[in-house]
Structure 1
Amino acid sequence: MSFKVGLTRELRDAQGEPAFGRRALEVLEANPAIEWEYIPETLREITPEVAARYDGIYVNAPKVTRASVAREDCRVKIFARHGVGYDSVDVPAMSERGILVTNTPLAVRRPVAVATLTMLFALTGRLFVKDRLTRAGRWAERTSHMGVGLVGRTLGLVGAGGIGQELLRVAQPFGMRHLVADPYVDDGVLAPLGARRVDLDRLMGEADFVVVACLLNDETHHLIGAPQFARMKPTAFFINMGRGPVVDEPALIETLRARRIAGAGIDVFEQEPIDPANPLLALDNVIVTPHALCWTDECFHDIASTGLRSIVDVSLGRRPAHLVDPGAWKGAA
């Protein structure tokens, strides 16, 4: 009997090839019973019709809601998320239906940590300002756009899970002081990484570089808003590499418009894709990227290989790695 797998189609590039490379698809060959295809429909949300068609779905952008799996003919046994975040999936609703949800937390740690440093270097080095000066023939103005050194400055992380801890590791050679605001990480984990836990208010006030690296959930929604931005130094930079709704975006826009902080680097937004009329896009003191700064061939291959392996495991009756809700696994059928 075949095990039918659907991949959401936005995972293809402009040529129709898998954005993560063909090599990752070889993982599916571990079970000859697997038949896979790109889901024909372009979806914002997995529909009941799609859920009735496949045993496993590899999902990137579309939401997975209670309505997605509400029908009696729902066939899905696993939704494997392409990436670490799972705020687009109604995990409790899936668990109620006995449907597994997996993510890929290990594959993204180093790429997101490196992407965060990329954003930090671009901001502190005034990279885009200097690019514009050079193109406009304004060479003589370069002394008016001095960069900011890192040694002795303070890096503040809002969230120190796997990605945050990896960032602390890769940032160690740059001579910064490390602060963390995270009520759930153990101090014994932070100490070897040269970091100290503080409350959020203190972190916002002391950090030269504030980086959001936490998950999005009810507790972190709009965790960073006007009161937090008001605590930041006028010389500080703000970077969001986590999820857009962790930040009150209008408050960020107002802070940047008023130039109360030195600048920002934003890879994630409250609405994605971002509205072309979003005021952030008109500001010259923010760098914006399309929730893709960490995307490299290495990153996408590792994500896809891990995610597709979860589907293979379920097809073979094995417990997959990286279950979002471990309690949903009831053993092989």
Structure 2
Amino acid sequence: MKTPIAIVSRLDLWINPVFDEVMDAVPGIMLQRLARSNPDGVWEGLSRTHAYHISPAKDELPRQWFAGQELISKCPDLLCISSGGAGFDTVDVAACTQAGIAVVNQAGANANSVAEHTFGLILALSKRILEANRRLRTDVGFSREDLMGHEIYGSTLGIIGLGVIGERVARLGRAFGMNVLAYDPLLDEQTVRSRSAEPVSLDKLLHESDYVTLHCPLNDETKILMGAPEFSKMKQGAVFISTARGGIHDEEALYESLKSGHLSGAGLDVWVVEPPPREASLLTLENVIATHHTAGVSHGGRRNVAASSANQIKMLLRGERPPHLINPEVWDHFKDRLHTIFG
């Protein structure tokens, strides 16, 4: 009897070559690379796919190929979806669960890159590195003291969300001699302490931290977690950092807090619209360092994410439970469907 072929599909968005290398090397798997320029071909390919590697970038992936109810209805044999990052904004997890589709993300695969980027923003703001570089190239008649920054040693770092990335940030904070606080309602106090932070309430963290950095997912509980009331609770002259997701902080409320001088600076890698429009109010402020959701976009980070995605797809198609299953309640339904399709 001929062994069934498992079809894995991805769109022709950039991905580290290791994903294709791993998929192409697995007997019994056929990788489809679907060209966005041919929508009919994409739908034809997806209609017979068993595993879909999807971009988590909501402003990069054409909305018609988000993994929602419409796509699911057109893909009767779709067994699993692998998001190419820690986030999964382009996947309707509830709809997938109802349909018996397992969803995985790549949590932690680019954690080192994101944590390093977080501290790059903290250091650039505290040391006024961008301003010093600009003035040295374009200005004259200023002194070194005009560009005096701050030590972060001995200051307080407040981390909102102490998952894999948050823990990396906490450990870096300790290495820099910072006092590290963390707020994460999903973790008990012992776990927070084991991750190199002191557990506190959100209010206490905001009142006491010199640097507040977000590392939580975007969901119904965290949407606009940081708004005008929260920014007003932060210390005068504190710095706000986010390498998490756009929409967790209120961009206009942050702008007002920075413009008024209550906060001294912000480092932002994530935006409600990515990239943000050139006329975005936050981009008019000199005390904002802005990057284009590139915290995890390093050569090492992207390779780790691609390898993780490929390996989890392999596990799922073999009926093995992967390490980053977002909807564990789907498991029995998924296995039944896998058996029905492949025997």
**TM-score normalised by the chain length of structure 1:** 0.90
Instruction: Say if 2:9 and 2:46, in contact at 8 Å, map to a contact too.
Output: no
Aligned AA for 1:4? I
Partner of 2:27: 32
The CA deviation string for residues 237-284 of structure 1, in whole angstroms up to 9 with x for no partner, is 100111111111111122222222110000011122322322222221
CA distance in 2, matches of 1:99, 1:42: 27
Distance 1:192 1:133, change over 3 A: same
CA deviations on 1:69-122 (whole Å, 9 max, x unpaired) are 124x53321110111112331101001001111011121222211111111111
Report the aligned-residue RMSD: 2.1
Structure 1 residues 98-152: Cα deviation after superposition (integer angstroms, max 9, x where no partner):
1111011121222211111111111111111011011113362431121110111
Q: Is the 8 A contact 2:24 2:30 kept in 1?
A: no
Residue 3 (str. 1) matches residue 6 (str. 2): yes
2:71 alignment counterpart: 68
Name the % identity: 32
Superposed, 1:58-97 pairs within 5 Å as 58-60=53-55, 61=57, 62=61, 63-71=66-74, 73-97=75-99
Give the Cα–Cα distance (whole angstroms) in 2 for the partners of residues 141 and 244 of structure 1. 38
SS in 1 for 2:320: coil
Q: Which residue does 2:50 correspond to in 1?
A: 55
Residue 244 of structure 1: SS of its match in structure 2?
coil
TM-score, normalised to structure 2, is 0.88
Residue 252 (structure 2) pairs with residue 250 (structure 1): yes
Counterpart Cα distance in 2 of 1:86 and 1:243: 11
1:177 aligned to 169, 176, 179, which one? 179
Q: How does 1:90-169 map to 2 (within 5 A)?
A: 90-138=92-140, 140-169=142-171
Residue 234 of structure 1, CA deviation: 2.5
Is this contact kept in 2: 1:100–1:323, CA < 8 A? yes
Does the CA contact (< 8 Å) of 2:32 and 2:45 recur in 1?
no
- Farther-moved stretch of structure 1 (140-149 vs 158-167): 140-149
Instruction: List aligned pairs for 1:159-308, cutoff 5 A.
Output: 159-308=161-310
Once residues 276 and 197 of structure 2 are traced to their aligned partners in structure 1, the CA distance between those partners, rounded to angstroms, is 34
Q: C-alpha displacement at 1:43, in angstroms?
A: 11
Matched with 1:15 is none
Shift of 1:186: 1.8
Q: For 2:144, give the aligned amino acid.
A: R
The 8 Å contact of residues 296 and 302 in structure 2, kept in 1 or not, is answered as no
Q: 1:261 to 1:96 in 2, by over 3 A?
A: same
Q: Distance in 2 between matches of 1:168 and 1:233?
A: 20
Does the C-alpha gap of structure 1 residues 273 and 64 become closer, same or farther in structure 2, counting only changes over 3 Å? Answer: farther
Shift of 1:233: 2.0
2:267 touches 2:289 (CA, 8 Å); kept in 1?
Answer: yes
| Cα displacement string for residues 188-211 of structure 1 (whole angstroms, at most 9, x for unaligned residues) | 122234421111122111100000
Q: Deviation string for 1:19-67 (max 9, x for gaps)?
A: x2x23432214422222232211699xx866641422111113332222
Moved more, 168-177 or 260-269: 168-177
User: Is contact 1:57-1:78 (8 Å) kept?
Assistant: yes
1:297–1:53 distance in 2 versus 1, CA, 3 Å: same
Deviation at 1:286, TM superposition (A): 0.4
Q: What SS class does the counterpart of residue 89 from structure 1 fall into?
A: coil
Inter-partner Cα distance in structure 2 for 1:150 and 1:252: 22
Indicate if the aligned counterparts of 1:87 and 1:217 stay in contact, CA closer than 8 A. Answer: no
Quick one: which amino acid aligns to residue 70 of structure 1? Answer: S
Unaligned runs of 5+ in 2: none
Alignment check: 8 A CA contact 1:224 1:247 kept: yes
Give the secondary-structure state (helix, strand or coil) at the position aligned to 1:305.
helix
Aligned residues: 322
- Of 73-82 and 287-296, more deviation after overlay is shown by 73-82
Partner Cα distance (2:169, 2:309) in 1: 23
Runs (5+) with no aligned partner, structure 1: 13-17
Distance 1:89 1:24 in 2: 20
